[in-house]
Structure 1
Amino acid sequence: MDLHIAATLVPLLGWAVHGSVLAHRLASARRDPLTGLHTRAGWTARAEHCIRRHPTAAVLLVDLDHFKTLNDTHGHAAGDAALIATADRLRAWCGRHGIAGRLGGDEFVAVVRDLAAVDLGALTVALHRPLSYNGVSLPLAASVGVCRLAELPVPLLTDALAAADAAMYTAKGRGRRGARLSH
């Protein structure tokens, strides 16, 4: 009888271990390996949940200014350090008010439950703080585009991302490093 139970439990144990490994792989696929932020897929699911629950939510897109120049001048390790610092600063700014993610390259995203509850100016200051790297002070700068969901006819994440993207490129185009609200 014990042999029969063991013969039944061994495959079940194997499936449990396999399921655990797959769950871990899925969870890690939703995190950017360099910065630890949510990837696009992981962030999107959380952001959609946030905007359904919080009509005062806002979506932000952050793009590092002159990132290619930093990489070309100081090397890819310095570029990675800049990406990690940006991610850390964005994550800290979001705190318990929102969720940060990395879309790829030097583009980051965040959703906050209520833009009035956070200090957008503090984010701009943090993103423009130089980074100490191997004894050198690297200049960092970023353009930020913001879209309040309440300003959209229908509060959809895709529309908010498009509006935040347009606001970010407007800020870049005007040479204004900082935040720009969509209109």
Structure 2
Amino acid sequence: MNRLATALALPLAAGWGLHTLALRRRLEAAHRDPLTGLLTRAPFEERAARLLRAGPCAVVFVDLDGFKAVNDTHGHAAGDGILRATAGALHDAATDAPDAVLARLGGDEFAAVTPMASPVALPWLLRGLHDELTAPTWIEGRELTVGASVGGCWTGDLPDASLSAAVRRADEVMYLVKRGGGGWLPAAPGAPALPTANGRRYGRPGTIAEGSRG
């Protein structure tokens, strides 16, 4: 009887194992932007906050420049291609950091949190990411280019290393870069918050747009 029970239980256990695996895949897919495959806001905040508690990190905020013009001139399919290329650039920038948390926060805004033991590496990360974001991209037989404004901070320099404070600081620096015409910039250690940008976007209610039609 024991052998019979075991023989009957094996297919059932295998079936439950496959069901559990499928359920986990569906749950993970629900946490990701369907266009880029990056995390959406809520799972990004959960995983990034956990990463920040483990040690100092680089927090990066990205806003594309000229994205609307690509949509208006070449169509939404081209815009979607630019968003997917942006996701690829974020993945490339985090190649050496498998624990990095990457997200599309909405529209053409992206964020990344990656472990970083020293702030010395932050400018290299931002410059490399900006160079790849602004490189020409071939989409549907056309060479397309967008600009990018990239701001970053190192949480070891912040008096409050919470996720909301760190992303807000990176967003402030990004906005400063954007006002200057685009580029990249790390936050200066000990620099005060920018009153014209503090809370400009991050932390306000928002949704993740699907595709480039938002």
TM-score (norm 2): 0.73
RMSD between aligned alpha carbons?
2.5
SS in 2 for 1:71: helix
* Aligned position for 1:128: 134
1: CA distance, partners of 2:113 / 2:41: 12
Contact 1:91-1:99 within 8 A present in 2 as well: no
Q: Deviations over 1:2-24 (max 9, x none)?
A: xxx9xxx8xx9998877655433
1: CA distance, partners of 2:164 / 2:153: 11
Q: Deviations over 1:61-88 (max 9, x none)?
A: 1011011111000000000000000100
Which letter does structure 2 place at the counterpart of 1:67? F
Q: Deviations over 1:110-159 (max 9, x none)?
A: 01211534622211111110111222211121101112112211210000
User: 1:144-163 alignment to 2 at 5 Å?
Assistant: 144-163=150-169
Which letter does structure 1 place at the counterpart of 2:24? A
1: CA distance, partners of 2:64 / 2:139: 17
Q: Moved runs in structure 1, 4+ residues, more than 4 A?
A: 12-22
1:89 matched to 2:89: yes
1:111 matched to 2:113: yes
Which letter does structure 2 place at the counterpart of 1:95? T
- Segments of 5+ residues of structure 1 without an aligned counterpart are none
Deviation at 1:50?
Answer: 1.6
* Aligned position for 2:195: none
Which letter does structure 2 place at the counterpart of 1:31? R
Equivalent pairs: percent with the same residue?
45
1:170 matched to 2:170: no
2: CA distance, partners of 1:83 / 1:37: 10
Deviation at 1:46?
Answer: 2.0
Deviation at 1:104?
Answer: 1.6
Deviates more, 1:143-152 or 1:42-51: 42-51
1: CA distance, partners of 2:81 / 2:14: 42
TM-score (norm 1): 0.84
2: CA distance, partners of 1:41 / 1:21: 22
Deviation at 1:40?
Answer: 1.5
- Segments of 5+ residues of structure 2 without an aligned counterpart are 192-214
Aligned residues: 179
1: CA distance, partners of 2:81 / 2:135: 13
